[in-house]
Structure 1
Amino acid sequence: MSLWTNKDHRTEFDDADSLAYDSDGGRLKPWLVGAVIPFFIVLYGVTCLSSDETDISGPDGRVVAYGTAATGLVVAFIALGLFLHFHFFWRLRERLEPYAERLKLVSLIVFLGGFLFAIFHRLGLF
């Protein structure tokens, strides 16, 4: 492999593209990535919903959203947790698998709606 080629290295786009396909894993992955992590994401969203304040930390610092913009971001957080749950937990369960794809699509639409609402509200467009 050459220094100038990225043939064998995965990028963030490769990881995002893999969410469109079936998930795989043994006994631990559905419970860890499909139940525990989404539980904490949804729990954080519900906690922020009750306080009407959302905190987002990034490499440039901390951003706090209040009011309606925070509600939009909280809806996006909860939808993200549900998307992970449907992808990594429901897709690996034979009985739940037929519903997982539709629910992933619904949670993705809700995520985009909440996220875009928060951005447009913060910019003063709503």
Structure 2
Amino acid sequence: MKSNSRARTVAPKPERARYVAWLLRLDPSKVYRIAPDATAAGNQHLVDCVFDQLQRLVEEAARFKSKPGPKPPRFLWYLRTLEHCCAVMSGTTEPLPPNEHGEFENKDGYRCGTYRPEGGDV
């Protein structure tokens, strides 16, 4: 088997979870146990928490999408973001890399934050 020097580098799960938490503006007090840390337990809590919250948001969006009637454009934009977040967490899409200051940038125009059908944006 030939070695492929151009093989894709896969971001570790905690980095994926940090990106998704940032993109969806998840509550840091729930995502991080005390503060962002790089311990195995802290990273596992981050990944588990983001998976749980993302699953809940996807289920809420599916319920709203199944209701009859037109959907607001902001909701459709939010669905695109949720699909991207699911792809990032599953490893089929790489998160955008942080800039030189270690901060994420929304270069692809995903909708930041969550969408609440009852009350609009959060």
User: Which band: TM-score by shorter chain?
Assistant: 0.3 to 0.5
Larger RCO, structures 1/2 (Cα 8 Å, 6+ apart): 2
Larger helix share, 1 or 2 = 1
Structure with max Cα Rg: 1
Larger strand share, 1 or 2 = 1
